[in-house]
Chain A
Amino acid sequence: MNALSSMDLIATAGRTPWHRASALSKIALALLILLLAVFTPSLSLLGVLFGVAVLLALSARVPVRLLLTAMAYPVAFALLFVLARWDGTWITPARILLRPLTCCVAVIWLMGSTPYPDVFAPLSRVLPRAVGDGLFLTYRALFDLIDRSGRLWRAIRLRGGAEGSARRRLSLAGEGLGTLVLYGFERSQRFYATMQLRGHSGRICGCRHYADVTPADLLTLAAAVGVILAAVTLWGRP
């Protein structure tokens, strides 16, 4: 979850052209890369898409360490599938590894250059209202609860809650989580009262600035054109 906090900071504090581009155009580009990576049979196209995704992430100033950490995760799980399909060549493993890596890096670029509310706002237009609003509210509550759970865990350890039998430790962990449930309940009531005071209209994020087009969108457009050209050229190649 530290990755989430880091990406949130990069997305809101970043000053690259990608951060100035509209969320909608970046979502479209990320989706294009993701769909091409999932469906293409061409290893060379996959290689190009992976290169583009890495270039996008690095130019958005996503820290290399964060990028490598994020990439390690799909690699670890893809290895199981590499073993399952092992045929003695390097082409099949490369294809299996490049697909998730490309998708992961494209998503990291999107989330590292776009604040979460701007990603959720267009999603909330197509998802049921409870889910769209739930994304915002969950995100708002998340950092607070992560901090609280971290403090709670330290307190439990300091007071000897991490000692003794596994049954005792797990039961204590449950009791600790109970305090967080209560905190979440009280917090949600306060939050709702605040929403009402501010004239809540029924939809939590009615903002439309995710679609505000800026000159930086030309860069996103250029990247999309480049990706489409690469797809047209390389789709049928091995």
Chain B
Amino acid sequence: MTHLHIPDGILPLRIWLPGLALALLVLVVSAWLTHRETRPKLAFQSSIGALMLAAMAIELPLGPLEYHLSLLGPVGVLLGPAAAFQVVFVVSAMLALVGHGGLTVVGWNALVLGAGAGIARPIARALSARFDPAVSMAAATACAQALSGALWVAVMLGGLRLVSRGRWLHDTGTPVLAALAAPLWAAGVVIETLVALGLGRFLQRVRPDLLPGRAPLPGKDLAR
């Protein structure tokens, strides 16, 4: 629901080029923000990126539908905004290289996913003062997924409106499509939140130091 599957050649240059330029700018800023971080952090970050890709390959059977996880919230909570943006950029680029979304929409994909992942950790950190870390992670995931899902719908509908130029989709179809996308968006928020709750509970029991606001365990602080 949060990954744009728009193939190359669909969106006009004036849409995809600014998206790509903005994503590259954010990428450079995020690289500058994290340039002092240790190499093990980069290795951990890459493991989380690979987990995000692996999770996308898992099909969760939910009645007649199958859902592919994005793990946006947990990635954002575990890595923080700057590192999470790098991860989602790498993930989007790798997906584009196997034809899942075009190369020209890598920028928008990174921005849509990165916006959600970017707000997750600050929210989780703010909530961790009052709630336990698992609930904080779940709430942060809900916000991250809601934001990314809304941006996904906005970019998809914007792209469709732009290419339809005054036809049915442009005039009356947009609200219909938005109404159809709303339940998918809501389902995405609920599913990712419940998964994040389970993930957060597990980490809280086993390695609470990986969650924000928790002190690192002695000798286990390489990923922070």
Binding site for B on A (CB under 8 A): 1-4, 7, 34, 37-39, 70, 73-74, 77-78, 80-81, 83-87, 96, 99-104, 107-108, 111, 119, 127-131, 133-142, 144-146, 148-149, 153, 162, 166-167, 169-182, 184-185, 187-189, 191-192, 195, 200
Contact = CB atoms under 8 A, between A and B. Distances in A.
Contacts of A189: 40, 43-44, 222-223
B198 A34 contact: no
A80 B63 CA distance: 25
Nearest to A105: B99
15 contacts: A1-B53, A39-B13, A70-B99, A81-B160, A86-B167, A103-B8, A104-B7, A107-B99, A107-B103, A130-B45, A131-B27, A141-B49, A170-B191, A184-B51, A189-B40
B200 A174 contact: yes
A188 B223 contact: yes
B208 to A, nearest CB: 12
B61 to A, nearest CB: 7
Interface string B140-173: 0000000000000000000110011101010001
Interface stretch (B86-94, B114-122, B125-133): B86-94
Nearest to A139: B94
Summarize B's interface: helix, strand, loop or mixed: helix
Contacts of A103: 7-9, 102-103
Interface in B15-57: 27-28, 30-31, 34-35, 39-40, 42-51, 53-57
B61 A38 contact: no
A138 B46 contact: yes
B102 A100 contact: yes
A18 to B, nearest CB: 17
Given A77-B6, A135-B94, A144-B50, 11 more contacts: A86-B167, A99-B10, A104-B7, A128-B86, A134-B45, A137-B43, A138-B91, A146-B54, A181-B78, A188-B222, A195-B39
A181 B49 CA distance: 10
A170 B99 CA distance: 28
A214 to B, nearest CB: 23
Contacts of A81: 6, 10, 159-160, 163
A167 B207 CA distance: 23
Contact of A179 (B42, B56, B91, B202): B202
A140 B50 CA distance: 8
B123 interface: no
B197 interface: yes
A149 B55 CA distance: 8
A138 B91 CA distance: 8
A153 B47 CA distance: 19
Given A34-B103, A84-B163, A135-B90, A145 B51 contact: yes
A145 B54 contact: yes
B104 interface: yes
Contacts of B179: none
B72 interface: no
Contact of B94 (A77, A108, A138, A148): A138
A178 B163 contact: no
A38 B56 contact: no
A134 B50 CA distance: 10
Contacts of B60: 169-170, 173
B183 to A, nearest CB: 15
A185 B35 CA distance: 20
A128 B31 contact: yes
B9 A99 contact: yes
A174 B195 contact: yes
A129 to B, nearest CB: 7
A180 B203 CA distance: 11
B109 to A, nearest CB: 13
